[in-house]
Amino acid sequence: MANGTDIQALLFDVFGTVVDWRGGVAREARSFLDRYAPQLDAYEFADAWRSKYGPSMEEVRSGRRPFVRLDVLHYENLSQVLQEYRIDTAAIPQQELDALNLAWHRLDPWPDSVQGLGRLKQRFMIAPMSNGHIRLMMDIAKRAGLPWDAILGSEVVRAYKPAPQAYLGAVEVLGLQPDQICMVAAHNGDLAAARRCGLKTAFIPRPTEHGPTQTSNLRAEQDWDYVARDMNDLASQLGCPA
Amino acid sequence: MANGTDIQALLFDVFGTVVDWRGGVAREARSFLDRYAPQLDAYEFADAWRSKYGPSMEEVRSGRRPFVRLDVLHYENLSQVLQEYRIDTAAIPQQELDALNLAWHRLDPWPDSVQGLGRLKQRFMIAPMSNGHIRLMMDIAKRAGLPWDAILGSEVVRAYKPAPQAYLGAVEVLGLQPDQICMVAAHNGDLAAARRCGLKTAFIPRPTEHGPTQTSNLRAEQDWDYVARDMNDLASQLGCPA
């Protein structure tokens, strides 16, 4: 087990690891659905929207499409989801669609995130390493009180995780060696990709990210450098005072 | 006079506007000079080093050289300055030169900066829009307690002020209209360039940035949208509670 003394910076996955995207999107979508599809479950809607997230980024990761901000992909995915639910977007004012698309800017943190990050910040540089763009991360952080030192991620490195360029770009920006940086995520795949780039890894399970019946990422699938119950536990393991 | 109600984000010049680079570099250089050039005045040394800043960036702005981080330019400029003072760098351990080069990462804020930024952050997105790179800005902010929401600037937009791409790149990242953003600087030239890109402007004189005999930027040279005594005065003018 690494002792954390060499780590200087922590990079965080955000959607699912720091904030509850499913609850937030469902909350934000509810009033929209009440008007246009009252029979639809808002959590199911959030899941359907999110299910298009990975495939839409894959277009960029594969090089078939140049880098675009996540708002763009979210909007395209929203349009598809509405179509699949046979909701007629032509009958919906554009501003309502735009407002719904910004649901991802208004996500609540998990209960331990703000306090844990505050503790970690005392000892380490902390930054999101999300596929969300800068403005999206800034809006979430200001609303939720996430005390980032800087906002890194896809827009800074012009690449989407888990592409190696994403992690290596962050290493270059931080001016550190890869093993002086620890990637923190609730997703084994994110950590596996970070480890392949030489970063240290910390797993925090978020067993309800996908709702009560979640089956993926319930436990560490490799011997990550750290496995913590939540952000506060990670802070304790890394020697940060309470 | 604009009333500030449309402004959503404030971008800040940092060297001179938020932090005192001259005092900080002189303080950091003193012990180095004591060993290698004890007769040299540390403030004169800081001024000489800084005098190469603009010309070195011009190589990038002109397109003659691809974008590099400011640490790289600072180091080249340091080597030149030491040579001009006939200090033999071959006799100096590399780690001492590297450490001196990082003096720019350890600059103190002006006395009003932290409090004023804290007030402005309550109402606006605030970010540095400096020619310094992300790690440099992060190190200054962590040490000084500058409460940035994000770190923008040259490394994010891959351009050095006052090139229009620098300001327009920040506009794009923020996802705002140019006139929803206010550039804050102690330098009329920075504000003039920002205004040409459609940004609002706020001037804060820093009459001792270049020492007690400063002659430039002592006053507003255009009718900037705001002219404030210091960061706290700007916060008051923009309606931020004390």
> Do residue A149 and residue A81 come from a single domain?
no
Q: Which of A74, A105, A136 is the last residue of a domain?
A: A105
B142 to A148: CB separation less than 8 angstroms, yes or no? no
Q: At what angle do helices B164-174 and B188-196 cross, to 10 degrees?
A: 60
The reply to whether A133 falls in a domain is yes
pLDDT at B1: 45
Evaluate whether residue B226 is within a structural domain.
Answer: yes
Distance spanning both ends of chain B, measured CA to CA: 22
Which band of pLDDT confidence, cut at 50, 70 and 90, is reported for residue B5?
low
B137, B138, B156 member nearest A156 (Cβ): B156
* Residue that terminates a domain, selected from B105, B134, B150: B105
Kindly tell me if the per-residue pLDDT of B41 is higher than 70. yes
Q: Which CATH number is B129's domain given?
A: 3.40.50.1000
Q: Does the pLDDT value for residue B4 go beyond 70?
A: no
Which structure tokens are listed for A127? 């930054």
pTM confidence score = 0.96
Check pLDDT > 70 for residue B190.
Answer: yes
Over residues B143-176, the pLDDT tens digits come to 999 999 999 999 999 999 999 999 999 999 999 9
Q: In this complex, is the C-beta atom of A137 within 8 Å of any C-beta atom belonging to chain B? A: yes
Q: What local confidence, expressed as pLDDT, does residue A1 receive?
A: 44
Residues B165 and B220 in one domain: yes
Instruction: Look at residue A5 in the predicted model and tell me its pLDDT.
Output: 61
Same domain, B39 and B99: yes
| Number of compact structural domains in chain B | 2
- Asked if B138 has any chain A CB less than 8 Å from its own CB, the reply is yes
Give the model confidence (pLDDT) of A82-106 as tens digits: 999 999 999 999 999 999 999 999 9
**Domain range spanning residue A28?**
21-105
Amino acid residing at B178: P
Which among B125, B137, B173 has CB closest to A155? Answer: B173
Q: What are phi and psi of B78, to 5 degrees?
A: -60, -45
- CB A150 to CB B149 under 8 A? no
Q: Both A14 and A25 in a single domain? A: no
* DSSP character at residue B110: P
Smallest CA-to-CA distance from B171 within B195, B148, B188 is with: B195
Query: Residue A232's pLDDT is what?
Result: 98
Are A197 and A167 a contacting pair, CB within 8 Å? yes
Element (H, E) at B130: strand B125-130
Residues A119 and A234 in one domain: yes
User: At which of B82, B105, B128 does a domain end?
Assistant: B105
B217 and B124 both lie in a single domain: yes
Claim to verify: residue A143 and residue A228 sit in the same structural domain = yes
**pLDDT > 90: what percent of chain B?**
96
- What is the value of ipTM here, to two decimals? 0.95
How confident is the model over A189-213, as a mean pLDDT?
98
| Cβ–Cβ contact A174 with B under 8 A | yes
